[in-house]
Amino acid sequence: MFASDWSIRFLSSCSQWHSDGTFKCRPLLFEQVYILFGFNNFMIPCVYCLTTKKDENVYVKILQHLLTIASQKGVILNPTRITCDFELATINAFRAIFNAVHISGCFFHYAQSLWRKVQELGLTRLVNPSNARRSSKFSNEARKNAKDWFMAAIGLALIPPNLVEKTWIEAMDEKTPTHRSSVKFNDYMVSTYVDITSSRYPMELWNVNDALRKNLPRTNNHVEGYNGRLGSLFPVHPHLSRLLNAYETNMFINIILLNSQGFIQ
């Protein structure tokens, strides 16, 4: 684990954290580089972790060690909201350590999961207008209904939670395409997201309406963009010392940036 006193103090000022793992710039012998970001008007990478595994136990140990270090420095870490991907190991670890925190799945990852299911079920040409136009198999009305049906599924994450079930029932009743695999997509939506009592992911995890209302980041796009830029600086499996030098340089730049904006720790 790598962090500076400054970055830990900045993290303590952030009620919202983001987390993400990247594999592109990991040194040999490590499974991933796992990064914790703090959001306080700026999205700043604060803690870098090189892990040999990516299971719940590893994430719990990371958070426990981070809290121990912060406590030794007289710093309190108490996020109220954490945005991450839909990896259950990460979600369970955050819940175990910060039991009152609101965990929000990344909206972009949610939409991606629906698109992957559409592709898996062979519905791409029906749902994607650019593909559908190449085929005369579907009428204009069928294409429009299919697009509305799929966009309704994505839009469930943006509307108030109390309207989700009603909205999806209406979309299924009025817009479900006649394609034989459409029912399988409906079943997937219900069992994975919509069912209030037994869905794989509870609604408070994937519905980002509250973040929308509060004008908070709803995705990990900033985080993944940072990881992408970081990966572009190195060859595959860079030497550890080179990676650490990059982290140190990036931390120094962030300190200068935030201090210039009046954030002084």
Q: What is the CATH classification number for the domain harbouring 35?
A: 3.30.420.10
Mean pLDDT value across residues 182-196 = 96
pLDDT category of residue 132 using cuts at 50, 70 and 90 = very low
Q: Domain range spanning residue 141?
A: 107-203
153 in the same domain as 167: yes
Q: Assess whether 124 and 175 both reside in one domain.
A: yes
User: Does one domain contain both 120 and 96?
Assistant: no
- Tell me, yes or no, whether 183 and 91 share the same domain: no
pLDDT at 230: 59
Higher pLDDT pick, 260 / 206: 206
Q: How confident is the model at residue 125 (pLDDT cuts 50, 70, 90)?
A: confident
Confirm whether 172 is domain-assigned: yes
- Residue 236 and residue 173 share a domain: no
Q: Are residues 127 and 100 both part of a single domain?
A: no
pLDDT of 205 > 60? The answer is yes
Of the pLDDT bands very low, low, confident and very high (cuts 50, 70, 90), residue 215 is confident
Tell whether 212 is covered by a domain.
no
- Residue 208, in any domain of the structure: no
**Do 37 and 83 fall within a single domain?**
yes
Q: How far apart are the first and last CA of the chain?
A: 21
| Burial classification of residue 2, based on how many CB atoms lie within 10 Å of its CB (0-12 exposed, 13-18 middle, 19 or more buried) | middle
pTM: 0.78
Asked whether residue 265 is domain-assigned, the answer is no
pLDDT at 33 over 90: no
110 by DSSP, 3-state: which? helix
| Dihedral sign of CA atoms 38, 235, 116, 49 in order | negative
CA atoms of 17 and 67, how far apart (whole Å): 14
Decide: 48 and 7 in contact? Cβ < 8 Å: no
Least confident of 10-19, 140-149, 186-195, 252-261: 252-261
The residues near 242 (Cβ < 8 Å, ≥ 6 apart) are 234
Q: pLDDT: is 232 or 172 the higher one?
A: 172
Average pLDDT, the chain: 85
Residues 20 and 111 in one domain: no
Q: Is the dihedral of CA 236, 89, 8, 45 positive or negative?
A: positive
The per-residue b/e assignment along 214-247, b for 16 or more CB within 10 angstroms, e otherwise, is eeebbbbebbbebbeebbeebeeebeeeebeebb
Asked if residue 144 and residue 78 are part of one domain, the reply reads no
Crossing angle, helix 107-120 and helix 140-155, to 10 degrees? Answer: 140
**Is 70 among the domain residues?**
yes
* Structure tokens, 152: 């309704």
Give how many domains the chain has, as a whole number. Answer: 2
Q: Up-side HSE of residue 230: CA atoms within 13 Å toward CB?
A: 30
